[in-house]
Amino acid sequence: MAAALGTSPTIVEYFEGEDFYRCGYCKNETGSRSNGMWAHSMTVQDYQALIDRGWRRSGKYVYKPVMNQTCCPQYTIRCRPLHFQPSKSHKKVLKKMFKFLSKGEFSRGNNEEEPMDSQMDDAAVDDFVLKSKLDIQSDHRPLSEDYNEVVESEVKEKEENLETKETKELNQSHAKREKLGSGEPSRSVKVVPSAPKPGKGADLSKPPCRKAKDIRKERKRQKLILKSQTDKLEGSQIQHEPQSLPSEKPKLNQPKSVEDFIFDTLPEDAAHQLEVRLVPVAFEDPEFKSSFHQSLSLYAKYQMAIHKDTAAECGEAEAENPPEGPDCGYGSFHQQYWLDGKIIAVGVIDVLPYCVSSVYLYYDPDYSFLSLGVYSALREIAFTRQLHEKTFQLSYYYMGFYIHSCPKMRYKGQYRPSDLLCPETYVWVPIEQCLSALESSKYCRFNQDTKAVDEERIKELDQLRVLYKRTVMPYNIYKKRQKGPSDEAIVQQYADLVGQTCSERMLLFRS
């Protein structure tokens, strides 16, 4: 929950590859391994470059899994919000929220869509984006297929209604005969429908029932005929009227966007009011300061209920380490979800030069029936699209890590279109191209170009920047002043992991 992004120069302490520790996903006691850095300060530009090389942050601790050694490789995943369309499962969550806000209706039953909590490792908080338990199915079918499903369901419904109607009429007939025969009010009598009379078949006055498959074939045939006629007509018009502009074809019904659901107008007598406030993580900000204690109480309630933390582990020091406030609109923010004047959830996000990065979500467990993990992710996607309208290059939504070897963590891959980061060449590859390889092996190189290499790999350490005895210097000068055993191997490991640009821009603290 703590923030570590600001505008001061980036100063980091690097920790050599840590020992293996307990994995929060497969529970292997010695299966997980990562490299880490403590960020005394960090700019948004440097953090953007680091997450594009597979790093993530938990407060001021920045870490990178050792992908080819850890038991559950964690691949950086990003969604492309500009092309995102909510799936059926996403729509279900959005409709559920609207129904709750407008009418106050909800179900506390077995809710498959409740957010899934990230597993908390001892050495590093392995995953920050709390989303959903639901194995969300992607919804990328053409409108015609959706229409086919409607037709099939209507045919089935009509058949069921017809059977129900006939059974009801039979029951009424039996009850009527019972009543007339006894001369007394009818009692509760179990009526077994009799078999239909011989020779009684379908109602010839109505068109025969057709299979949905035949309906689809007929509809496709009609479309082809219509298209052929339209093409001929347009060709004729072009031939005889070369100066006339072609008429615009009517637009097909566009699917509803995530904004259409989120910002749907509530009735005047709505049961609840939900407000989402964006608050910079800085104590000098009045709004952040005024809501801090309520936010902290919610954080403690969430951590104790979901992650079984003790009250001492949920103290103020654990909750916040605020940086300097961003001057240009980038940095760390809280998206506070206020329901009827009370905070029920807080999404911690980083607004970076090219993306919105989801860091963490904590919420009131009493409202888990609203699937706040899924809902907050959709709100953050909509927020990214909103920022893109004003800042063109900001066009991605980073969701943390995708862990294919852990089935419960695959849901992030259903916020599509999305890409996974190749752990060797650091290029983005559409997730559809990665899944077959991940089925065969936990660790994969996604870049199919066998000659491709890490373009940011560092060749010379001389220009790497070091902060030594409160003085900034290039590494070749630091080596001459260094006393004691050489640390070149550790510095080389750091440089390989952060890349050329960051190594020459960030300050590596050496004592």
CA distances from 92 to 98, 112, 136, 394, 487 (A): 10, 12, 11, 28, 55
Three-state DSSP at 37 gives: strand
**H-helix segments, 200-244:** 212-240
Whether 374 is in a domain gets the answer yes
pLDDT tens per residue across span 85-112: 999 999 999 999 999 999 998 877 545 4
Whether 497 is in a domain gets the answer no
At residue 207, does pLDDT exceed 70? no
Confidence grade of residue 192 (pLDDT, cut at 50, 70, 90) = very low
Look at the chain and report how many structural domains it folds into: 1
Range name among 17-26, 55-64, 261-270, 291-300 with the lowest pLDDT average? 291-300
Give percent of the chain with pLDDT exceeding 90. 55
Whether 370 is in a domain gets the answer yes
**H-helix segments, 252-402:** 258-262, 286-306, 316-319, 372-390
At residue 327, does pLDDT exceed 90? no
Q: How big is the CA angle at 64 (ends 298 and 425), to the nearest 5 degrees?
A: 135
Whether 509 is in a domain gets the answer no
- Among 299, 302, 282, which Cα is nearest to 290's? 282
The parent domain of residue 424 ranges over 76-138+260-428
Q: What is the per-residue pLDDT for 295?
A: 78
Whether 350 is in a domain gets the answer yes
At residue 426, does pLDDT exceed 70? yes
Stronger pLDDT, 377 or 124, i.e. the higher one: 377
Give percent of the chain with pLDDT exceeding 70. 69
Average pLDDT in the chain = 78
Distance separating alpha carbons of residues 281 and 320, to the nearest angstrom:
9
Q: Which amino acid is at 15?
A: F
Distance separating alpha carbons of residues 134 and 126, to the nearest angstrom:
20
At residue 123, does pLDDT exceed 60? no
At residue 149, does pLDDT exceed 80? no
Q: Give me the phi and psi of 121, to 5 degrees please.
A: -85, 160
- Among 331, 379, 384, 378, which Cα is nearest to 356's? 384
Stronger pLDDT, 505 or 121, i.e. the higher one: 505
Whether 404 is in a domain gets the answer yes
Distance separating alpha carbons of residues 193 and 165, to the nearest angstrom:
12
Whether 288 is in a domain gets the answer yes
Per the rule left: phi > 0, alpha: psi between -120 and 50, beta: everything else, 104 is left
Stronger pLDDT, 4 or 450, i.e. the higher one: 450
Q: What is the per-residue pLDDT for 183?
A: 42
Distance separating alpha carbons of residues 20 and 23, to the nearest angstrom:
9
